[in-house]
């Protein structure tokens, strides 16, 4: 579905839910839908400004919180300078963020199915995992931090680690 159709479908869904579509709500939703990317409050404000719309950061933030509450966008800390927001669509995904180099890898939503089942079973809790960031070390940074192991031939020549 292209951005225009997705935007119109979203507006229709909101109206069906009895939600009011104010000018700021419409404009912020339009920016998020058309972008399809992870945007900060500042990014949204810049996109609006480029389109000739002036909107203060507090208004944008309130609209984003409303959109999150009604389940249309996700709010995620990817470890950058600011929280990012993105429209929730059929392709849900999550991120693995390296604490050392900052690399971000995408992770499929199905990787969290076991966690969702465990939360339902063990805690009687229905999780809403829209867009998750998991922090750790990527393969390359982990490899850099691992102490070098002696080659098998080295340990034989020197009599092993204790000899």
Q: Which of 26-35, 136-145, 153-162 has the lowest mean pLDDT?
A: 153-162
Q: Are residues 83 and 115 in the same domain?
A: no
Q: Are residues 75 and 122 in the same domain?
A: no
Q: What is the pLDDT of residues 152-161, one digit of tens each?
A: 554 444 444 4
The tokens of 119 are what?
């939360």
Domain count, the chain: 2
CATH of the domain at 73: 1.10.10.10
CATH of the domain at 116: 3.30.1490.190
155 lies in some domain? no
pTM, full prediction: 0.70
Q: Are residues 15 and 66 in the same domain?
A: yes
157 lies in some domain? no
117 lies in some domain? yes
Q: Are residues 78 and 105 in the same domain?
A: no
163 lies in some domain? no
Q: Are residues 70 and 132 in the same domain?
A: no
- Give residue 136's domain range: 91-147
Q: What is the pLDDT of residue 156?
A: 47
Would you say residue 129 has pLDDT above 50? yes
């Amino acid at each position: 579905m292209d951005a225009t159709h997705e935007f119109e479908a979203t507006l229709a869904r909101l109206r069906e839910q009895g939600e009011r579509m104010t000018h700021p709500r419409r404009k912020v939703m339009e920016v998020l839908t058309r972008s399809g990317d992870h945007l900060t409050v500042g990014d949204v404000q810049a996109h609006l400004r480029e389109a000739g719309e002036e909107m203060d950061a507090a208004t944008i933030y309130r609209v984003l919180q409303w959109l999150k509450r009604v389940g249309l966008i996700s709010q995620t800390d990817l470890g950058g300078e600011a929280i990012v927001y993105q429209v929730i669509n059929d392709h849900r995904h999550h991120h693995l963020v390296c604490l050392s180099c900052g690399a971000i890898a995408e992770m499929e939503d199905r990787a969290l199915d076991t966690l969702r089942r465990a939360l339902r079973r063990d805690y009687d809790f229905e999780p809403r995992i829209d867009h998750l960031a998991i922090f750790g070390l990527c393969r390359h940074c982990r490899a850099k931090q691992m102490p070098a192991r002696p080659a098998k031939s080295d340990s034989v020549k020197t009599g092993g680690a204790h000899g």
